[in-house]
A and B are shown apart, each in its own frame.
Chain A
Amino acid sequence: MSTPRTVVTPSGTAEPSGTGVTSLGFEQVTVRYDGAPAVSAASFAVAEGEWVALVGPNGAGKSSLLRAATGLVPHEGAIRVGDRPAKALSWRERARRIALVPQQPELPAAMPVLDYVLLGRTAHIPYWGRESATDLQISESVLDRLGMAGFAGRPLGTLSGGETQRVVLARALAQQAPVLLLDEPTSALDLGRRVEALELVDEVRREHGLTVLSVLHDLTLAAQFAERLVLLVDGRIRAAGTPEVVLDPVVLAESFGARVRVMVGADGRLVVVPYRREKRGGELG
Chain B
Amino acid sequence: MTGSASTGDGVRARRHQLRLPGTVAALLLVGAVVLASCVGPVSIGPDRVLGTVLSQLFGVHTSVSPVDQAIVWNLRLPRVVLAALVGAALSASGTAYQGVLRNSLADPYLLGVAAGAGLGATVAIVSGGSGSVLLPVAAFLGAVAAVVLTYLVASIGTDRASGYTVILAGVAVAAMLTAGQTFLQQQHADEIRQIYNWLLGSFSVASWRDVGLSLPYLLVSMLVLLAHRRVLDVLRVGAEEAGTLGLHPTRTRLLIVAAATLGTGAAVAVSGLIGFVGIIVPHAVRLLTSASYRVVMPVSMLGGAAFLVLADLAARTVEAPGEVPIGVVTAVVGGPFFLAVLRSRRTRQGLL
Q: Given the complex, which residues of B lie within 8 Å of A144, measured CB to CB?
A: 8
Is A155 in the interface zone, CB < 8 Å from B? yes
- With A and B bound together, what is the CA distance between A92 and B241 in angstroms? 12
- With A and B bound together, what is the CA distance between A221 and B219 in angstroms? 56
Return the chain B residue nearest A93 by Cβ: B246
Is A261 in the interface zone, CB < 8 Å from B? no
We find that the number of chain A residues with CB closer than 8 angstroms to chain B is 48
Q: Given the complex, which residues of A lie within 8 Å of B12, measured CB to CB?
A: 114, 136, 140
Contact mask for chain B residues 230-265; partner A; CB cutoff 8 A; 1 contact, 0 none: 110110111011111111110000000000000000
A115 CB contact (under 8 Å) in B4, B233, B242: B233
CB distance A140 to B8 under 8 Å?
yes
- With A and B bound together, what is the CA distance between A151 and B6 in angstroms? 8
Q: Please indicate which of the listed interface residues B3, B12, B351 has the most CB atoms of chain A within 10 Å of its own CB.
A: B12
Interface hits, A200-217 → B, CB 8 Å: none
- With A and B bound together, what is the CA distance between A194 and B159 in angstroms? 33
CB distance B1 to A157 under 8 Å?
no
B248 CB contact (under 8 Å) in A91, A151, A152, A153: A91
- With A and B bound together, what is the CA distance between A149 and B292 in angstroms? 21
A157 CB contact (under 8 Å) in B240, B248, B290, B349: B349
Is A122 in the interface zone, CB < 8 Å from B? yes
- Interface residue range, chain B: 35 or more
- Given A91-B249, A130-B230, A158-B2, verify A108-B243 contact (CB < 8 Å): no
Contact mask for chain B residues 155-174; partner A; CB cutoff 8 A; 1 contact, 0 none: 00001000000000000000
CB distance A105 to B241 under 8 Å?
yes
Q: Given the complex, which residues of A lie within 8 Å of B131, measured CB to CB?
A: none
CB distance A91 to B15 under 8 Å?
no
Q: Given the complex, which residues of A lie within 8 Å of B14, measured CB to CB?
A: 153
Closest CB in chain B relative to A223 CB, distance in Å: 28
Is A100 in the interface zone, CB < 8 Å from B? yes
Is A251 in the interface zone, CB < 8 Å from B? no
Closest CB in chain B relative to A18 CB, distance in Å: 14
CB distance A151 to B246 under 8 Å?
no
- With A and B bound together, what is the CA distance between A95 and B248 in angstroms? 11
Closest CB in chain A relative to B236 CB, distance in Å: 5
Closest CB in chain A relative to B95 CB, distance in Å: 15
Q: Given the complex, which residues of A lie within 8 Å of B38, measured CB to CB?
A: none
Q: Given the complex, which residues of A lie within 8 Å of B30, measured CB to CB?
A: none
Contact mask for chain A residues 67-79; partner B; CB cutoff 8 A; 1 contact, 0 none: 0001111000000
Q: Given the complex, which residues of B lie within 8 Å of A157, measured CB to CB?
A: 349-350
Is B291 in the interface zone, CB < 8 Å from A? yes
B246 CB contact (under 8 Å) in A96, A143, A158: A96
- Given A106-B241, A109-B350, A114-B12, verify A153-B3 contact (CB < 8 Å): yes
Closest CB in chain B relative to A31 CB, distance in Å: 13
Q: Given the complex, which residues of A lie within 8 Å of B241, measured CB to CB?
A: 100, 102, 105-106
Q: Given the complex, which residues of A lie within 8 Å of B11, measured CB to CB?
A: 112, 114, 152-153
CB distance A108 to B352 under 8 Å?
yes
Interface hits, A91-121 → B, CB 8 Å: 91-92, 94-96, 98-100, 102, 105-112, 114-115, 119-120
Return the chain B residue nearest A140 by Cβ: B8
What 20 additional pairs, Cβ within 8 angstroms, besides A110-B349, A155-B350?
A: A91-B246, A92-B246, A94-B246, A95-B245, A95-B246, A102-B240, A108-B237, A109-B350, A110-B291, A111-B292, A114-B8, A114-B12, A125-B230, A129-B230, A140-B12, A150-B5, A153-B10, A154-B2, A155-B1, A158-B2
Q: Can you list 5 residue pairs at the A/B interface with Cβ under 8 Å? A: A95-B244, A96-B246, A114-B8, A158-B349, A175-B245
The 4 closest A-B pairs by CB, nearest first: A123-B246, A109-B350, A95-B246, A110-B291
